[in-house]
Structure 1
Amino acid sequence: MKKILAVDDEPSILTLLKFNLEKAGFEVITTEDGWEAISLIQTEKPDLVLLDLMLPSIDGMEILKKIRQEKNNVPVVMLTARGEDLDRILGLELGADDYITKPFLIREVVARVKAILRRTIGNVYSEEDETIQIGDLLIHTERYEVYLKGEPIELTPKEFELLLYLAKNRGRVLTREQLLNKVWNYDFMGDSRIVDVHISHLREKIEEDPKQPRHIRTVRGLGYKFEDRNEEQSL
C-alpha cells in the first residue's frame, strides 16, 4: 500500500484528502505543521507528499527546498490557494512534480496522485530492466537510475520521466504540448513553461555545458530534440 503525506493547515482539507485517498486504497498521514512534515518525511518515508504552499510555521516552498537539498526525490504535489504564475513556476523550479490550485476537485487530486505513483513508482522494483545507452549516458528504465560516464545522476521522478521519453524518441522533434501530454498526462492549464523548467534542470544535470547542450537541443519555434551531437559529428 502506497503511503501519502498530506500537509495543510486547514483541518477540513486534511479530512477531505484523508477520507478520499484512503477510499482510493492509500495509507494517509496528515499534519498541519510544516516542521512536523519535514520530520515525517524522514521517518515515515512517504511515496508522495501533498504540500500546502501557505503554512504558518514554515511555508511549503521552504519545505520543498529542504527536501530537494537532502537529495530526496519523493514526488511532491503543491497545493495552494494562489493562482499566480510566479508561485507556480517557483515551485516547479524548486523541484515540485505537480501543482494544484485551491479550490480543487477531490477526484482530480486522487487522479493525479494515482497517475504520478503509477508512472514514477510502479515498475521500480521490476526484475526486468531495459537500458538505453546514448553516448556516455546510460538509463535504466525500470530501476529509475541514470549514469553519466559511470557516475550516478540524481533526478526527480518527473525529470526521469521526461528524460526517458526524450531518449525513447531520440531524433524526433517533440513539441511542448506533446511532452505535457505524454509526461504529465494532461494539459497543464496550457502552461508549457513547466516543460522548459524541467528541460533546464535536466541540462544542468546531464550536460557538460548546459548552454551548448550535447543531448537536449532546442528546435526554435517547435520544441526539443534528444540526440548525441558527438556521435553525429563522428559519422
Structure 2
Amino acid sequence: MTQQLLMIEDDTRLANMVGEYLRQSGYGFTHAADGNSGLAALAASPPDLVILDLMLPDMDGLEVCRRIKGQGGEAANTAVLMLTAKGDPMDRIVGLEIGADDYLPKPFEPRELLARIRAVLRRGGEAIPSATQKSMHFGSLEIDRDARSVTVSGSLCELTSYQFDLLVAMAERSGRVLSRDQIMEAVRGRELEAFDRSIDVHMGRIRNAIELDAKNPKRILTVRGVGYVFAKQQD
C-alpha cells in the first residue's frame, strides 16, 4: 500500500518540486498551503507523515503540530517532520518536545528529505514500547524513564544523560541489530555527541555500568562490521 504524505507549506513552488520528487520515489503526496487547510486535510484522511513548515500565513507551525498531536484517533499517531529555519535551534527543540518526530533545516536537498522521511516511517513501524510505559525490565536490569535511572539487581548504575538516552534507544529496539547511524538517529537532537566513533566509547561505558563482566557482555553485543544489538534474553 502506498504511503501517503501531506506537506503543509505556503511556498507553492517548493511544494510542487518536493511533491514531484516524492511521487517519483513511490509516495502519495498532498499539499496544503496553510495550517487550517492542512489540519482539515489531515482530519479528512490522515496521512502516514506530515511535512510541516513552521512559517505559515495563518498560524504558527508549532501550533499546527500541537493540534496534530493533541487530536484523538488515528490522526494523533501521524508522524511529523518539521521544516525549520537554518540556525534556529529553539524552534527545533520546542517542536521535538511537543511531539515532532524529526526536523530538517531549510534550505535542504530533496534526497536528505527523502532519507529522513524513510527513517521516520521506518521507526513508526517498529514495535517500540510506549513512551508512557514508566519502566522497562530485562532480567535484573531495570530502566526507569521517569526517574531517568538504571539499576541492576537494585543497585544504581552511573550513566550520563546521553548514555541513558542511548541505552533507552537500544532497549526499545531489543533484538534488532543497529548501525551506529541508526543509534544516533534514534537520539537525534543531541548533535554535540553525534560523532560516529563516540558511540563506541559510550557503549563501552554503558557496558561498564550495566554488565556483570564488561569484557564479556551479555546485554549489549557488538556485531562486527555493523554495529550493536541489545540482547533480549533474561539473565
Query: What TM-score bracket applies, with the shorter chain setting the length?
Result: 0.5 to 0.7
Q: Separation in 1 of the partners of 2:20 and 2:48?
A: 18
Q: Could you say if the C-alpha distance between residues 25 and 91 of structure 1 is closer, same or farther in structure 2, counting changes exceeding 3 Å?
A: same
Question: Of 149, 161, 171, which aligns to 1:166?
Answer: 171
Q: Deviations over 1:130-186 (max 9, x none)?
A: 9xxx99769xxxxxxxxxxxxxxxxxxxxxxx956324569xxxxxxx6x7426269
2:23 corresponds to which letter in structure 1?
E
Asked whether the 8 Å contact 1:79–1:102 carries over to 2, the reply is yes
CA separation of 1:181 and 1:55: change in aligned 2, threshold 3 A:
same
Give the alignment partner of residue 101 of structure 1, picking from 102, 105, 109.
105
Q: Which runs of 5+ in 1 are unaligned?
A: 125-129, 139-161, 171-177, 194-218, 227-235
Query: How far off is 1:68 after superposition?
Result: 1.4
Aligned residues: 163
Give the RMSD, CA atoms, in angstroms: 3.9
Decide whether the 8 Å contact of 1:181 with 1:187 is kept in 2: no
Residue 191 (structure 1) shift? 4.6
- The whole-number CA distance in structure 2 between the counterparts of 1:102 and 1:52 is 9
| TM-score for both structures, normalised by structure 2 | 0.58
Structure 2: 5+ residue stretches without partners: 138-166, 195-201, 211-235
Q: Distance in 1 between matches of 2:26 and 2:41?
A: 20
Matched to 1:30, the amino acid is H
Q: Letter of the aligned partner of 1:9 in structure 2?
A: D
Counting only pairs closer than 5 Å after superposition, residues 80-95 of structure 1 correspond to structure 2 as 80-95=84-99
Identical residues among aligned pairs (%): 31
After TM superposition, the score normalised by the length of structure 1 is 0.58
| Equivalent position of 2:65 in the other structure | 64
| Max Rg structure | 2
Rounded to whole Å, the distance in 1 between the matches of 2:86 and 2:101 is 17
Letter of the 2:183 counterpart: K
SS of residue paired to 1:58: coil
